[in-house]
A and B are shown apart, each in its own frame.
Chain A
Amino acid sequence: MASRGGGDGNSPPPSVSSPDTPPHPGRRTPSGAAAAARQQQQRQNWTGRFPPTPSTPMSTDDVPLSSEAGDDDTPETDGGGGAGADATPVFVWGTNISVQDVNAAILRFLRHFRDPRDAGRVDPVMDEGKYMRAIHRILELEGGESLDVDAHDVFDHDPDLYGKMVRYPLEVLAIFDIVLMDLVARIEPLFEKHIQTRIYNLKSSICLRNLNPSDIEKMVSIKGMIIRCSSVIPELKEAVFRCLVCGFYSEPVMVDRDKQIIKLQETPDEIPEGGTPHTVSVLMHDKLVDAGKPGDRVEITGIYRAMSIRVGPTQRTVKSIFKTYIDCLHIKKTDKSRLHVEDSMDADNPNANKTTEDDFLRDKVEKLKELSKLPDIYDKLTRSLAPNIWELDDVKRGLLCQLFGGNPLRLPSGASFRGDINVLLVGDPGTSKSQLLQYMHKLSPRGIYTSGRGSSAVGLTAYVTKDPETGETVLESGALVLSDKGVCCIDEFDKMSDNARSMLHEVMEQQTVSIAKAGIIASLNARTSVLACANPTESRYNPRLSVIDNIHLPPTLLSRFDLIYLILDKADEQTDRRLAKHIVSLHFENPNIEELEVLDLPTLVAYISYARKHIQPQLSDEAAEELTRGYVEMRKRGNSPGSRKKVITATARQIESLIRLSEALARMRFSEVVEVRDVVEAFRLLEVAMQQSATDHATGTIDMDLIMTGISASERQRRDNLVAATRNLVMEKMQLGGPSVRMIELLEEIRKQSSMEVHLHDLRSALGTLMTEGAVVIHGDSVKRV
């Protein structure tokens, strides 16, 4: 068998061995000198901890090398020859894989492989193959000690070599290293450093939990997350080489090596339901030491190994159990986490560091980009947002804008404009507000879901409070600080304490939160968009009252919301029936459930986070023009000819909102430019929202005063009229210092005179105005002129 290594004077035998180590291929590392050191190292281990036998038994039932099965009488390799040179070395290629052939194939590959991507390139100086160039580079820099070889290249050039390499990595890589050193020696005879071959990017990678005995001694590629790293163990070892053919012993060689063991764990996406993640140990050497740290997602290319466990110092028989680990050849970092697909990759920069480049990620991003090019992507996104809630399409579009967000802007002067879009949903109980919130919470990477009832908004700690009367318990927690750069979903916004709400002003405009603690006022970032939902104070929304009267929110806070939607329950049997059908189908697994073509949740999340990170759309000139034109038109509508009173239909705040919305809309298409159509859609969205919330029901016009002050222009007019009428009445009917008059009586008088409907509370507020003027004094229900 030893003859197999000989015959070629130029190349030393691929297997190195020393008398007291079993010459099993499983005990060899891919590189000559390194292998020797490893031999040494393992010899140390064996004397200390591990017995020299048995080494890995191989089950070759999955390796039917029919074409190469020349003399496979003992494919069952077990190199464990107890001790000594008497054990005949048995190689896996008890088949007819010839060293020379492999040698030649590798040489051909290194010399002649040309990257198809270089095809067009004409470079007379460096008209060499990809790897020859790489070798030259290593020699020039004198720094590199390893040659990264893309396994795809090997496959493209020589599938047979690829197959052998994956099946018999130890042998093939040893030859690889020898060929490489040979090549180097010819180019630069004085180059002394050892260059190792590092294979990466195998054709297929294996799931960690699917590693099984048939993978032992094979080259495998697995993905996972590093969860532990051992400390680095430095080693200075002396190695002796012996030629298997002639028995020649080399001079002792000093080898300096570091090693480290890391634990690799499955990533969440590979774990089946009801399972826990598997782990595997990975042995790292030299340059690979400290290449990754706990928490990194990596792809490891290496050789799967098994090592027997000796049980006790006295026990002669070896326990039948094996420990397994991966001897690492190459480590590649992949993305840090699923939600931030873009973290380690830079799509716009093709010159990015090759080792961090990840095809998988690139594919993913490509898919997202393809999606973004769909003509109906806007509608598709809308459909995919909470697909179980129907209608409310414009609300969903507004929420989408919130998820994508606008560009924050900081002027050199220090002024800054937020990019976050705040949305308020007001509506009847029983509509799907809460479900929408839950969905948004799931979609936003740092989303916080809280109830206004229990939100102190800014606190850093959480309290349990108990209502002294009802005994109801509530958790109060500071939500906004926690959702920096996310969406803070606040349910039951109307139930929020005034104190907490006032803090929201700062959050929604300044994007910070000030916290006074132990005499220090700290300002924390709270760059969050707020999605709130509120119930009307009465059980149902009263369409005759303004939004502010319906939900009792201070107008100053209300005006901070870019979009305010009214979700009213319009007793509609069609909708009811659809809801009923939906509920029933949930319970009965009704096969008739309608399948909408929507994006799944992970895709949607990835799409949004990619857009937020990479797309920073700018207003085009046309879009800016459209914005101005639209705004002026909106203002004009308030001053319709013939109308005396001035109705504010748009304010400067709306301009900012419109810009943010347009930017968000452009982002949805992955477009770097805000186009006219985005602006038009932004106007439409704003108007839909305003029509619902800011329509003055007395006049039918949109009136921003409703949001700004809570009183529409027409209402103000009406109130002014009433005050005037009351003043007249008081002047006429009552004498200065005369007897008090009951309010009811006044009301009746007013009603007689006035053409409009007057309520007692209207009168009371009118009298209040008069009292501040000093015209009357009110005592309970009676009024006295003074």
Chain B
Amino acid sequence: MVGPQYDLVGNPLGAVRSTFERAAAAAAAESGGHEPVAAFRGKDWGASEVFRSFLFEQGGLDKVPVLDESNLGLIKPNTLVRFRGMVQDMLGNEFYVGAFKDGSTWRTNKFSDSSPFSMPHPCDSHLWERHLFHCVPVPGQNSWTRESSPGPDLRRMASCLTSEQREKRKRGADNDAMDVSESGSGKTSSSSKKTKDGVQISNSSVEMSMNEEHVPEMNGGDHHIPGSSFSCLVKVYDMPESQVKLNDVSEFIGVYTFDPELAAPSDNSDDIMFDLMEDVTAQLPPSKVPRLHCLVWRNLSAHDFLSRPPAVEPSPILLRGIRQSLLSHLTLVLGKDELAAQCLLLHLLSRLRNKVDVVTVGRLSLNFTGFNRESVSIFGNQLNNLFQRLLPYSQVIPLSIEYLNTATLQPRKDNQSGRLVTGVLQLPQGTHLTFDETLLQSGSLTSKGVENTMLLKNLMESQKVEYDFEFYKLEMATDVQLLTLSEGKSNILPSDLIVSFRPSSVPAVNASSEELESWRWYLATVRSLPQSTETDTYQMIQDEMVNAMRDDRSLGCSELSRWLTMAQIMAASFGEKSLSMEHWQMVKELERLRKERLQ
């Protein structure tokens, strides 16, 4: 395919249509003029191919502006844009006239809202379908992730594709095209300036401190409730809907459309009947919610936010070094409490690895006890600042009676509007949540408070959030890291690991941006490190567990399971692919020290 003959950024639809007309003509010639375009339903006739090659092989990605709140209205309609966001709601399918015959020529409406040519009536036409997703800026997204906006490094993208099986599967059909060669350049183009402007504005909600004075509605108080803030209606073509999951964080590249005529309010809107027939997109005015007809999309992982990832293999030696520097930084932030720092490191590296009916494996929620309001304002703020600069998405929830009684934690389907109304707990995979329980005093909970408490407990225990669909509840699986700062052990938020926090100094540290970058890369890399399974390891661990149970009869299934989780993370934190006796012993020692403190 030849790229340059089209202005793919300025007039993407031109390329879409001319490739279509050529393909249709070719198909017509082949089939003898009979039903030439029927085969194009749900398939790419070569248009997406042109764009993929332009974006990923010819460095075109850097030339594509990122659509956000700041430049909405500045970007010309019918041009190519990028949007990074979370799939907040799935609005089902939309049927449209995909192809029609204009005289003797077949034309297409794919990747646009309305027909560029007036459709003659009657005419031969084909009805095709596309999927609608309502996407919002990722809740709790930290500002550093936006620095990489101008365009991800292509070499790294290629390596990430090969290493991450999960990603690969999700990406499905797009895979081949994404698996680009080394030829792509990693330079940051001049367009990066443009996108940086929006960073400060949209991120303000994240920059919250842990002060008790704070309004209970953190998370910007449901700031991504449909219609109330910036969001994007993405129309995705040619793939089964199941490839995209709710709360996925993805990058969509496609045609931005805005048709003022479409924005005109529909007359007769009080007709209840047609109101019911109305599709939900009617409530998303195009002036506020831009439409993006997606040509290429991909799911984003933590790796995709790194601006200058080292172009090296994650060797154990390299990872060990970074581990040491991160651990000493954590220790300083935690007032020289090394035990707490060790546990925090394991916690930050944990991720949900497996689910067997009611059991979840791999999570490691952490409860630091011994906090009071004063120490929270010192250490809590330090921790929070660090999370904001290390993790892609993090939030702080000030757990008070008032918060529990008033906050909307549960996402709820509003059957009147047909929309999913978001709640604080609608979060993308990999979010970090910090609960500040020092604010919690004795008091009575309303039924909403009880509901919220149950939601949090359920999230803690099974990494699931129940969404309310009015007539039934649906449990959505999540993978959220949970840290609780409290005075005594929290029985409301039962964590896996309870550590009595014993600082001996006041934190006063600052990390350089190089350090931060290496730590981000370390966290993202270690969390995605594959774990090998060797039969020797099984046997070794089993023997160790039997010995441990002999020594301490109070050890139960959950505790031993947690030890194993910690040992596996410990191994990974050193860049090791499989766990050895050494790591198991380190965890046992950690546990011994931890228990000593609890006495």
Q: Known contacts A472-B490, A587-B564; is A438 also within 8 Å of B358 by CB?
A: yes
How far, in Å, is A277 (CB) from chain B's closest CB? 6
Which of A57, A454, A473 interacts with B97 by CB under 8 Å? A57
- From 257 to 279 in chain A, residues with beta carbon under 8 angstroms from any chain B beta carbon are 259-263, 265, 267-268, 271-279
Judged by a CB distance under 8 angstroms, whether A540 is at the interface is yes
Nearest A residue to B372, CB-CB: A471
Q: Which B residues lie within 8 Å of A294 (CB)?
A: 415, 471
Q: Known contacts A61-B41, A586-B354; is A275 also within 8 Å of B90 by CB?
A: yes
Q: Are B357 and A583 in contact, with the CB atoms below 8 A? A: no
Q: Are B128 and A213 in contact, with the CB atoms below 8 A? A: yes
How far, in Å, is A38 (CB) from chain B's closest CB? 14
Which of B96, B118, B545 interacts with A317 by CB under 8 Å? B118
Q: What CA separation (Å) do A557 and B449 show in the bound complex?
A: 32
Q: What CA separation (Å) do A461 and B90 show in the bound complex?
A: 36
Q: What CA separation (Å) do A589 and B361 show in the bound complex?
A: 10
Q: Are A581 and B449 in contact, with the CB atoms below 8 A? A: no
Q: What CA separation (Å) do A277 and B90 show in the bound complex?
A: 8
Judged by a CB distance under 8 angstroms, whether A573 is at the interface is yes
Q: Known contacts A311-B114, A577-B542; is A49 also within 8 Å of B553 by CB?
A: no
Q: Known contacts A464-B443, A571-B550; is A442 also within 8 Å of B358 by CB?
A: yes
Q: Which B residues lie within 8 Å of A584 (CB)?
A: 538, 541-542, 545, 564
- From 401 to 441 in chain A, residues with beta carbon under 8 angstroms from any chain B beta carbon are 428-432, 435, 438-439
Q: Known contacts A281-B276, A464-B401; is A473 also within 8 Å of B440 by CB?
A: yes
How far, in Å, is A551 (CB) from chain B's closest CB? 17
How far, in Å, is A590 (CB) from chain B's closest CB? 7
Judged by a CB distance under 8 angstroms, whether B279 is at the interface is yes
Q: What CA separation (Å) do A312 and B242 show in the bound complex?
A: 34
Q: Are B542 and A580 in contact, with the CB atoms below 8 A? A: yes
Judged by a CB distance under 8 angstroms, whether A324 is at the interface is yes
Q: What CA separation (Å) do A438 and B458 show in the bound complex?
A: 12
How far, in Å, is A640 (CB) from chain B's closest CB? 37
Q: What CA separation (Å) do A743 and B556 show in the bound complex?
A: 43
Judged by a CB distance under 8 angstroms, whether A319 is at the interface is yes
Q: Which A residues lie within 8 Å of B124 (CB)?
A: 57, 76, 78
Q: Are B441 and A466 in contact, with the CB atoms below 8 A? A: yes
Q: Are A388 and B38 in contact, with the CB atoms below 8 A? A: no
Q: Are A48 and B114 in contact, with the CB atoms below 8 A? A: no
Q: Please count how many residues in chain A sit with their CB below 8 Å of the partner chain's CB atoms.
A: 111
Q: Are A320 and B486 in contact, with the CB atoms below 8 A? A: no
- From 263 to 313 in chain A, residues with beta carbon under 8 angstroms from any chain B beta carbon are 263, 265, 267-268, 271-279, 281, 294-295, 306-307, 311-313
Judged by a CB distance under 8 angstroms, whether B326 is at the interface is no
Judged by a CB distance under 8 angstroms, whether B444 is at the interface is yes
Q: Which A residues lie within 8 Å of B469 (CB)?
A: 265, 268, 277
Interface string of A452-469 (1 = CB under 8 A from B): 011000000111111100
Q: Known contacts A59-B126, A439-B358; is A281 also within 8 Å of B277 by CB?
A: yes
Judged by a CB distance under 8 angstroms, whether A690 is at the interface is no
Q: What CA separation (Å) do A579 and B440 show in the bound complex?
A: 38
Q: What CA separation (Å) do A59 and B267 show in the bound complex?
A: 31
Q: Are A463 and B95 in contact, with the CB atoms below 8 A? A: no
Q: Which A residues lie within 8 Å of B342 (CB)?
A: none
Judged by a CB distance under 8 angstroms, whether A227 is at the interface is yes
Q: What CA separation (Å) do A313 and B267 show in the bound complex?
A: 8
Q: Are A275 and B242 in contact, with the CB atoms below 8 A? A: yes
Q: Which B residues lie within 8 Å of A61 (CB)?
A: 35, 38-39, 41
| Residue from A212, A320, A325, A439 with most neighbouring chain B CB atoms (10 Å) | A320
Judged by a CB distance under 8 angstroms, whether B474 is at the interface is yes
- From 137 to 162 in chain A, residues with beta carbon under 8 angstroms from any chain B beta carbon are none
Q: Are A587 and B90 in contact, with the CB atoms below 8 A? A: no
Q: Are A48 and B92 in contact, with the CB atoms below 8 A? A: no
Judged by a CB distance under 8 angstroms, whether A87 is at the interface is yes
Judged by a CB distance under 8 angstroms, whether A576 is at the interface is yes
Q: Are A230 and B276 in contact, with the CB atoms below 8 A? A: yes
| Residue from A78, A307, A319 with most neighbouring chain B CB atoms (10 Å) | A319
Judged by a CB distance under 8 angstroms, whether A349 is at the interface is no
Interface string of A60-102 (1 = CB under 8 A from B): 0100000000000000101111100001000000000000000
Q: Are A225 and B123 in contact, with the CB atoms below 8 A? A: no
Q: Which B residues lie within 8 Å of A428 (CB)?
A: 553-554
Q: Are B119 and A589 in contact, with the CB atoms below 8 A? A: no
Q: Are A462 and B445 in contact, with the CB atoms below 8 A? A: yes
Which of B126, B487, B560, B568 interacts with A471 by CB under 8 Å? B487
Q: Known contacts A316-B118, A463-B445; is A429 also within 8 Å of B554 by CB?
A: yes
Q: Known contacts A78-B124, A584-B538, A586-B561; is A231 also within 8 Å of B272 by CB?
A: yes
Q: Known contacts A461-B445, A586-B361; is A477 also within 8 Å of B450 by CB?
A: yes
Judged by a CB distance under 8 angstroms, whether A233 is at the interface is yes
Q: Which A residues lie within 8 Å of B273 (CB)?
A: 230, 233, 259-261
Q: What CA separation (Å) do A475 and B490 show in the bound complex?
A: 10
Judged by a CB distance under 8 angstroms, whether B213 is at the interface is no
Q: Are B492 and A473 in contact, with the CB atoms below 8 A? A: yes
Judged by a CB distance under 8 angstroms, whether A337 is at the interface is yes
Nearest A residue to B533, CB-CB: A588
Q: Are A279 and B418 in contact, with the CB atoms below 8 A? A: yes
Q: Known contacts A274-B246, A274-B476, A317-B119; is A471 also within 8 Å of B369 by CB?
A: yes
Judged by a CB distance under 8 angstroms, whether B129 is at the interface is yes
Judged by a CB distance under 8 angstroms, whether B591 is at the interface is no
Judged by a CB distance under 8 angstroms, whether B57 is at the interface is no
| Residue from B420, B445, B555 with most neighbouring chain A CB atoms (10 Å) | B445
Judged by a CB distance under 8 angstroms, whether B509 is at the interface is no
Judged by a CB distance under 8 angstroms, whether A353 is at the interface is no
Q: Which A residues lie within 8 Å of B446 (CB)?
A: 461
Judged by a CB distance under 8 angstroms, whether A649 is at the interface is no
Q: Which B residues lie within 8 Å of A313 (CB)?
A: 267
How far, in Å, is A265 (CB) from chain B's closest CB? 8
Q: Are A78 and B125 in contact, with the CB atoms below 8 A? A: yes
Interface string of A40-68 (1 = CB under 8 A from B): 00000000110001101111010000000
Q: Known contacts A49-B274, A228-B416, A464-B401; is A320 also within 8 Å of B119 by CB?
A: yes
Q: Known contacts A318-B119, A388-B357, A470-B489; is A579 also within 8 Å of B268 by CB?
A: no
Nearest A residue to B274, CB-CB: A49
Which of A278, A311, A464, A467 interacts with B264 by CB under 8 Å? A311
Judged by a CB distance under 8 angstroms, whether A321 is at the interface is yes
Q: What CA separation (Å) do A320 and B354 show in the bound complex?
A: 45
How far, in Å, is A466 (CB) from chain B's closest CB? 5
Judged by a CB distance under 8 angstroms, whether A315 is at the interface is yes
Q: Are B477 and A87 in contact, with the CB atoms below 8 A? A: no
- From 448 to 488 in chain B, residues with beta carbon under 8 angstroms from any chain A beta carbon are 449-450, 453, 467, 469-472, 474, 476-477, 486-488
- From 232 to 289 in chain B, residues with beta carbon under 8 angstroms from any chain A beta carbon are 241-242, 245-248, 261-262, 264, 267-268, 271-279
Q: What CA separation (Å) do A57 and B126 show in the bound complex?
A: 6
Nearest A residue to B484, CB-CB: A473
Q: Which B residues lie within 8 Å of A464 (CB)?
A: 401, 404, 440-445, 492
Q: Are B245 and A473 in contact, with the CB atoms below 8 A? A: no
Judged by a CB distance under 8 angstroms, whether A601 is at the interface is yes
Q: Are B401 and A49 in contact, with the CB atoms below 8 A? A: no
Q: Which A residues lie within 8 Å of B126 (CB)?
A: 57, 59, 213
Q: Which A residues lie within 8 Å of B533 (CB)?
A: 588-590
Q: Are A311 and B262 in contact, with the CB atoms below 8 A? A: yes
Which of A209, A320, A472, A588 interacts with B113 by CB under 8 Å? A320
Q: Are B557 and A435 in contact, with the CB atoms below 8 A? A: yes
Judged by a CB distance under 8 angstroms, whether A186 is at the interface is no
Residue pairs across A and B with Cβ atoms less than 8 A apart, 10 shown, are: A230-B272, A274-B246, A279-B92, A323-B278, A472-B487, A475-B453, A571-B553, A576-B546, A580-B549, A582-B557
The 10 residue pairs across chains A and B that have the minimum distance between CB atoms: A471-B487, A274-B245, A471-B488, A580-B545, A472-B488, A430-B556, A57-B125, A213-B127, A470-B488, A78-B122
Known: A230-B275, A322-B94. 16 other contacts (CB 8 A): A49-B271, A57-B100, A59-B41, A212-B93, A276-B413, A277-B413, A294-B415, A312-B264, A317-B119, A337-B472, A462-B444, A462-B450, A584-B541, A584-B542, A586-B361, A587-B362
